Amino acid sequence: MEDATKRCPYCGEEILAVAKKCKHCGEWLDENAQVSEPQLTSVPEPVCEPTPEPKKDPVDEREEATSTAEPVRRPGFFEYYFIDLFIRRYADFKGKTSRQQFWMGGLCFVLLLLTLFCIDLATGLMFVCTLVGTLALTVPFVAAAIRRLHDTGRSGWWFLIQYVPVVGPIWLLVLLCQKGETRDDQRPAFQLPTDAIAAAAMVLIVGVSIIWVSIGSNEYKRTKRAVYEEAYRSMAEAANAEKEANDDPNAIPDEVVDVANACSYYDNDRSLTANDFTLIARYNDAGRHCAYYTQKEYQVVLYQYNLENRKVRVIDLNKTAITPKKEGQMEISPVIFEVSQIVVKGDNFYIVGSTNANAGGYVAYLVSYDTGYESFECLDYGIDIRLINNNRQAVVTHAKMIKEAECYADCEFKTWDVTVNLP
């Protein structure tokens, strides 16, 4: 036989007839209530009054709201100041950026470029990584600066103020430093592992690069010193070799060999060699790059050697037109077959030559050669010429026939000396 049941007078649910408390609504039942047997006839159901809901504690509501709401996002340092600023908003020229986020992002930007620069130094890529990083972050940096200007209540076109000479960059810097409208409520915290990995990577790269560059610098100094020592040793050896060549009486300069090879004259049926020549003077200035040589035993011929193209010009005095010296109506055109002395004073050569004959009593000539204009001029002539006062003056002995005889040796002459200053 099944247990007798009844309905709860409070909630109307069916419960055991012997129940003292409703298992559905939790209300206590009257102890004196009689247990009713189930009847086949219909019995009107009792009116169920709504059970008042218990009042909730306000503290419990806050706790429940907190437990069901989404967790507050707390970005990391690197994520907030670099990723959010430059990567997520790469080319975003709208919106605003707070002053704190902009300048801290600029610090991250500088640290990144420093890291790339250290990589360039360590790998020897000649600023390739630094250049690539700068180009890649130029657009987001400009976008962040424009958003910073928006935050100060200005248009992004104020970014172009930096191109005003002198004051433009300073003006833009002041604008970017001004307080803006955006309140930076974010408080990024140093989080693991993202921020730790980024910081450790930067410190490791910079540290290794500094050590690598220091080692490379020391190696470069040693190599540089070795190169300098080798160069100094080579120069010293070359100087010693040149000194030995100069001290060697048999050593002959190359230009003298060129002169000898270009010369087409012969002495006593013998080809001229470099040992047959002597240097008169060398000029190597703005207008002249040449050296003058002559033969040791036959100084009538001068050889002009061009130091640039190594060509030789032959100047034969007995075949060269010399400007004659005028004396009254008489012009004497020097004809030189023999040279006794050549003196160099500055740009001029002073040549004492003669015709090697006694025709007319005038056999000696004092000739000046201007190396600048390459021209000859006869300064004076006589029967004898002597250089005095360290070759600063020349004494010219002149002669004049006062009594003529049948034999030239019996003729009488009047002689006198004239001193000529050599300029």
Q: pLDDT over 90 for what percent of the chain?
A: 1
Q: How do residues 154-204 score in pLDDT, each as one tens digit?
A: 888 888 888 899 898 999 889 888 888 877 665 666 666 766 777 777 787
Residue 179 has what pLDDT?
85
Q: How do residues 242-284 score in pLDDT, each as one tens digit?
A: 666 555 554 556 677 777 776 654 444 556 677 778 888 888 8
Residue 69 confidence (pLDDT) above 70: no
Question: What's the whole-number average pLDDT of the chain?
Answer: 76
Average pLDDT over residues 297-320: 84
Residue 295 confidence (pLDDT) above 70: yes
Dig out the tokens for 410 from the structure. Answer: 């019996």
Dig out the tokens for 318 from the structure. Answer: 């007995």
Residue 170 has what pLDDT?
92
Q: How far apart are CA 121 and CA 117, in angstroms?
A: 6
Residue 391 has what pLDDT?
84
Please identify which residue in the block is written with the tokens 């120069």: 235
Confidence label for 67 from pLDDT (cuts 50, 70 and 90) = very low
What length does the chain have? Answer: 423
Average pLDDT over residues 221-233: 81
Confidence label for 63 from pLDDT (cuts 50, 70 and 90) = very low
Question: Of the given ranges (238-252, 376-390, 399-413), which has the lowest mean pLDDT?
Answer: 238-252
Q: Which pTM value belongs to this model? A: 0.40
Q: Which residue has the higher pLDDT, 409 or 389?
A: 389
C-alpha distance across the termini of the chain, in Å = 163
Pair 5, 18: CB distance under 8 Å = no
Dig out the tokens for 257 from the structure. Answer: 């060999």
